[in-house]
Amino acid sequence: MNDASIVAARPQGPATELVLLFHGVGASAANLLPLAEWIAAARPGAFVVSVDAPQPSGLGGGREWFSVLGVTEDNRMPRIDAAMPLFRQAVAHWQRESGAGAERTTLIGFSQGSIMSLESTQDGDPLAARVVALSGRFAQPPRRAPAAVRFHFIHGADDPVIAARFSVEAAQALERLGGRATVDVLPGLAHGIDARAAQLAAGYLA
């Protein structure tokens, strides 16, 4: 596991919850530190970590969970499957550090970080009770909606990288599967996180 993750908040006593943030491709844990600090301020007692992805990015800077060079709808899922063991190990590591189990864990992902977070719910035991996906998507339509997991999608209406329809369609699919999902499409927001998105992300932890 890459050791460049940043702990934004480590309570002196037992943590009330664990919040893990996962950045996009070509970025790093530092890029989500402002959001992590925002959440830490809003959630006293939470153990909050911005997690650094394990591999250097093929885009020439930053980190990644899987390469997006030459990525297609057909080869994306195999790349995610290959990266998922390290993702699950990272979550388990911070759960041990914080003393918080899956029922008190939230995964917040941006772009590729949200893809990994969402896809982690599709096989094996859920890693968290909440997944907040910012500007993200499932690699393929969801196949299951674990009863223990709440899904929250926050997406810019003007996102040119991952279209907002992916969040809308995912939320609808999860509801058809009997799951619990919300979706917020924010006018004027492209592929990024603004104050509105940060407020919504923090609010969904309540």
Dihedral sign of CA atoms 64, 70, 73, 77 in order: negative
- CA 184 vs. chain centroid, Å, equals 15
At residue 123, the pLDDT reads: 92
pTM: 0.96
In a domain, 106, yes or no: yes
At residue 25, the pLDDT reads: 97
H/E stretch holding 196: helix 195-203
At residue 206, the pLDDT reads: 85
Going by C-alpha positions, the residue among 87, 120, 94 that lies closest to residue 9 is 94
Range of the domain at 159: 6-203
In a domain, 1, yes or no: no
Number of residues assigned to the chain: 206
Mean pLDDT by 10 residues, the chain (206 residues): 86 95 97 96 96 94 95 94 97 97 98 98 96 97 97 98 98 98 98 97 93
Residues classed as catalytic: 111, 159, 191
Q: What is the four-CA torsion angle of 190, 66, 40, 197, rounded to 10 degrees?
A: 20
At residue 60, the pLDDT reads: 84
In a domain, 50, yes or no: yes
CATH for 48: 3.40.50.1820
In a domain, 169, yes or no: yes
Pinpoint the alpha helices (H) of 20-126: 33-42, 76-98, 112-119
The pairing of beta strand 63-64 with beta strand 180-186: unpaired
Q: What is the number of structural domains in the chain?
A: 1
What stretches of 75-123 adopt beta strand conformation (E)?
A: 105-110
At residue 175, the pLDDT reads: 97
At residue 2, the pLDDT reads: 56
In a domain, 19, yes or no: yes
At residue 1, the pLDDT reads: 52
